[in-house]
Structure 1
Amino acid sequence: MDFEIVQIIQEFTTAGGAERVAWDLAMTFGRLGQKNSVVASKTPEVPPENVTLRPIVEWLSRVPKRGLFRHVGRLVVVPLFTIAAQFARLPERNTVLISHGDTFYGDILVVHAVNAENLKEKRQAGQWAWLLNPMHAWVALRDRLMIGGLRYRRYVAVSSRVKQELMSYYHVPPARIAVIPNGIDLSRFHPEPGFRTAIRESFGIPDKATLLLFVSHEFGRKGLAPVIEALEKRDDPDLWLLVVGSDNPEPYVKMARKTAGRMVFAGERRDMERIYPAADLFVLPSAYETFSLVCMEAMACGVPVLATRVGGIEEYLKDGVNGYAITRNGDDIAEKLDRVLKDGHALDSLKEGAIRTATSYGWSEISRKYLSLAEEVLEEKYS
């Protein structure tokens, strides 16, 4: 049966995690000849090939969701788009609606993260600043309606951990949950030796230096502090750290007594396919993840990963194969750095293992899993 896949996401761009997933799914559906469209308030000026854009409440795209007042912007944009999406005009027959958390109804809900688990991790860590962010109240209500209300025929969990969280927090029947990991655009993220020299020169990083890369817009939750602690403990003059993300660097610069001169804060970047190949190791001692696209992007570029075993990371991070598991502890990170860097051959082996891992997560393979699930839902929906 011919059918159309309709994705709903507030921002159809390549900017972030869920946005990037929706984008890559749409592009791959188009390449595979699958009719597909996207409902969003923010869309690219030049429509991509083989994807129909269905813009709604476009004025929301002018409300800033990043920067100093990002929480205020999100509190306006996210609820209003979710409500407006209920009234979007969509094809009535032979359609499968995939939501990325931006509508109360649909056929397939892609669960990129379970916020209840995220907040649990923060409480256990003694972090309470989230109570000042009213977005969490909205997300809690939305998730109770979307997930707890079982308004979808299927739920896509991006990792086995997320599947367990859906069952635990919202009692979603396991038969209605499909585990499909996020994919990686292998045509964009791949080893490119030429970027190593160019990026390092642009930041004043020596070519011979061993470069660690940390990427996140939330330096605290993702564990930048223990990374700096590890660098301070090793105090290796050839070990540098490049930090990419829009969070405030000042508290972390103050932490670095010995290594401040070997730390570079690059701010927000949109050219990560150029940044990753410049690094030797990617490090992410995150408190909570569901899949972590940045880890997989790093691996695709031939950069081994040091990360905590949280969420989907634990499913693809293999000690001694493509990186090592770490804890949010400076001593442990320093010990893993010693293990990797004491032998140059070991680092080369990890790089090869990282590339092999990433190749099995290409979007062509992942998209076919979505198509299979969509066909299953379509047969159930119109039988």
Structure 2
Amino acid sequence: MRLLVCTDTYPPLINGVSVVTALTVEGLRRRGWECLVVMPGMDARGIPHPPSDREVERLPAVSWHAYPDVRAALWQRHRVRALINEFHPDVVHCATEFVVGWYGRQEARRAGVPYTTSYHTDFSRYTASWGVPWLRRPVQSWIRYFHRHAARVFTPSVSARNDLRALGLRELEVWGRGVDVNLFRPRAGLDTTCADERPFRFLYVGRLAPEKNIELLIDAMALTQARHPDRAMVLDIVGDGPSREALTERAARQSTVTIRFLGAQDRQCALPRIYAEADAFVYASATETLGLVVLEAMAAGLPVIATPAGGIAEHLRDDINGLAYPTGDCGRCADAMSRMLTDALARVRLAKGARATAEQRSWDSELQRLDVSYREVLARSRESHGI
């Protein structure tokens, strides 16, 4: 069985979409699939290419000045057409609604190959964060158009599936809510009840971008420190993105708090350790279709402080595996941080609840479901063509 994956983001770039797509490819290969990935090439800013991989095709691409990690493989549709003709995929998967995903969609339709799509990101809700709310309806129209003829649309949460249903889309499957509980796990021998004997470590992991609302976390951290002036605490921010400079400046103005920007970290080695050494995870985004980092934090045994919106609402259980606060409410976020800081027994109980939640989200079972789903798509396509 052959799968052509057309994606605009893939490692070494690290974000939720690239991570899930790479895990998908790796898992399907272990199950006997022959997978070819088509992606934009990396730029000249020093981002390294991954080791040589004959199963990854990199297209010439240019960066978007406002968000350099976004690479557009313009005028390369002919390359995707050639790959379909040479590789003869049984199914084409379009992982993103951007340039390479669009090429895959169009060329699969031209060649009569069944194609599937993923809906990972609610770009229509991003428009307000980026200062262009008037673009929400056009973006929704594009999402509807992109996915409407797909043999199956994979999306990682019930809420995201419902959003797509509201746009009139069908053939929707909730998939991709997995986490590697062997890679991300609590640190052996770390006693969270002793957190008051050292600086308490709050942690954020993710892109530094307007839609993530990290400003709220910085302000909540300052408010928490003001409430507990004699308690040492730190907020570690892991990740990179277009908002880094503005966030660094905002943090610098909070002279009484310790906020460290650690940049992007290696997912296999550094990130599991960073999760495991923290005491609580904080998150403020209300636009997630999944919130993969929230599941990773739970797998590492971190109580999560987050707003129960979108896909996060399907994992976060208030006072069971974390603490919920209303979207955009800095004061309530600080209340939750203060409780996490001062209530050691609750912290231990929530940490155990977080780990238990993650253990119910095995990647192996998700990948098995995906294998079956692709085979169903292929069988249906062959039946419709009388094969």
TM-score category of the 2 structures, normalised to the smaller one: 0.7 to 0.9
Q: Does 2:289 align with 1:290?
A: yes
Measured in 2, the distance between the counterparts of 1:319 and 1:188 equals 25
Amino acid across the alignment from 1:265: F
Secondary structure of 1:312's match? helix
Q: How does 1:154-233 map to 2 (within 5 A)?
A: 154-169=152-167, 171-173=168-170, 176-193=171-188, 208-233=198-223
Worse overlay, 219-228 or 187-196: 187-196
SS state of the match for residue 202, structure 2?
Answer: strand
Whether the aligned pair in 2 keeps the contact of 1:243 and 1:263 (CA below 8 Å) is yes
C-alpha offsets along residues 85-144 of structure 1, whole Å, 9 cap, x if unaligned?
34433567671222102333252101101322332x53xxxx62688xx9x999778535
Whether 1:95 and 2:83 are equivalent positions in the alignment is no
Q: Shift of residue 188 of structure 1?
A: 2.2
- Correspondence for 2:125 among 114, 117, 120: 117
In structure 1, the residue matched to 2:261 is 265
Query: Does the 8 A contact of 2:248 with 2:261 survive in 1?
Result: no
Q: Kindly indicate whether the alpha-carbon contact (under 8 Å) linking 1:285 and 1:326 is maintained by their aligned counterparts in 2.
A: no
Asked if the contact 2:6–2:92 (Cα under 8 Å) also holds between the matched residues in 1, the reply is: yes
Tell me which residue corresponds to 2:50: 44
Residue number in structure 2 paired with 1:34: 33
Aligned-partner Cα distance in 2 for 1:128–1:92 = 42
Structure 1 segments (4+ residues) deviating >4 Å: 78-84, 90-94, 136-142, 193-196
Distance in 1 between residues matched to 2:304 and 2:75, nearest whole Å? 38
- Check the 8 A contact 1:83/1:103 in 2, yes or no: no
Match for residue 199 of structure 1?
A: none
Counterpart Cα distance in 2 of 1:45 and 1:195 = 35
SS class of match (2:305)? strand
Q: Secondary structure at the match of 1:317?
A: coil
Q: Which amino acid aligns with 2:379?
A: E
Q: Matches of 2:311 and 2:73 in 1, distance apart?
A: 25
TM-score when scaled to structure 2? 0.79
| Aligned counterparts, 1:1-383, within 5 A | 3-14=1-12, 15-42=14-41, 44-47=50-53, 53-57=55-59, 59-60=60-61, 63-64=62-63, 69-71=65-67, 74=70, 77-80=72-75, 84-90=79-85, 95-101=90-96, 102-104=100-102, 105=105, 106=108, 107-119=115-127, 121-122=128-129, 128=131, 143=143, 145-147=145-147, 150-169=148-167, 171-173=168-170, 176-193=171-188, 208-235=198-225, 236=228, 237-246=231-240, 247-248=244-245, 249-259=247-257, 262-270=258-266, 271-327=270-326, 328-383=328-383
Instruction: State the 1:84 CA deviation.
Output: 4.4
What CA distance in whole angstroms lies between the structure 1 residues aligned with 2:264 and 2:291?
17
The Cα shift of 1:207 comes to 7.0
CA distance in 2, matches of 1:320, 1:19: 31
Q: Report the Cα distance in structure 2 between the residues aligned to 1:331 and 1:382, rounded to whole angstroms.
A: 57
Cα displacement (A) at 1:313: 0.5
Determine the C-alpha separation between the residues in 2 that align with 1:84 and 1:231. Answer: 49
CA distance in 1, matches of 2:276, 2:73: 34
| Alignment TM-score, normalising by the size of structure 1 | 0.80
Unaligned runs of 5+ in 1: 197-204
Q: Supply the RMSD in Å over aligned alpha carbons.
A: 3.2
Q: Distance in 2 between matches of 1:358 and 1:181?
A: 13
> What per-residue deviation string (whole Å, max 9, x for no partner) do you get for residues 186-244 of structure 1?
33222234899xxxxxxxx9971211011233354322222233232232332221112
Q: Percent identity?
A: 22
| Secondary structure of the corresponding residue to residue 256 of structure 2 | coil
Mapped to 1, the partners of 2:359 and 2:76 lie a distance apart of 35
Q: Following the alignment from structure 2 to structure 1, what is the Cα–Cα distance between the partners of residues 133 and 265? A: 26
- Contact residue 86 and residue 103 of structure 1 kept, 8 A: no
Distance in 2 (CA, whole Å) between partners of 1:84 and 1:254 is 47
CA–CA distance in structure 2, aligned partners of residues 231 and 20 of structure 1: 29
Q: Which amino acid aligns with 1:213?
A: L
Residues 64-83 of structure 1 show CA distances to partners (whole Å, capped at 9, x for unaligned) of 56xxx353673x61554567
Which digits, 9 at most, give the CA deviation of each residue in 1:50-75, with x for residues without a partner? xx614142x33xx456xxx353673x
Q: Specify whether residues 29 and 230 from structure 1 end up closer, same or farther in structure 2 by C-alpha distance, changes over 3 A only.
A: same
Residues 12 and 19 of structure 1 are in contact (CA less than 8 Å); yes or no, is this contact kept in structure 2? Answer: yes
CA deviation string 1:132-161 (max 9, x = no partner)? xx9x999778535412xx231111111112
1:39 is paired with a residue whose SS is: strand
Give how far 1:337 is off. Answer: 2.1
- Structure 2 alignment gaps of length 5 or more: 42-48, 109-114
Matched to 1:210, the amino acid is F
Paired residue type of 1:177:
L
Letter of the 1:164 counterpart: N
Q: Structure 1 residue 376: deviation in Å? A: 1.3
Query: 3-state SS of the aligned residue for 1:128?
Result: coil
Deviation of the 1:364 alpha carbon: 0.8
**Secondary structure, in 3 states, of the residue corresponding to 2:378?**
helix
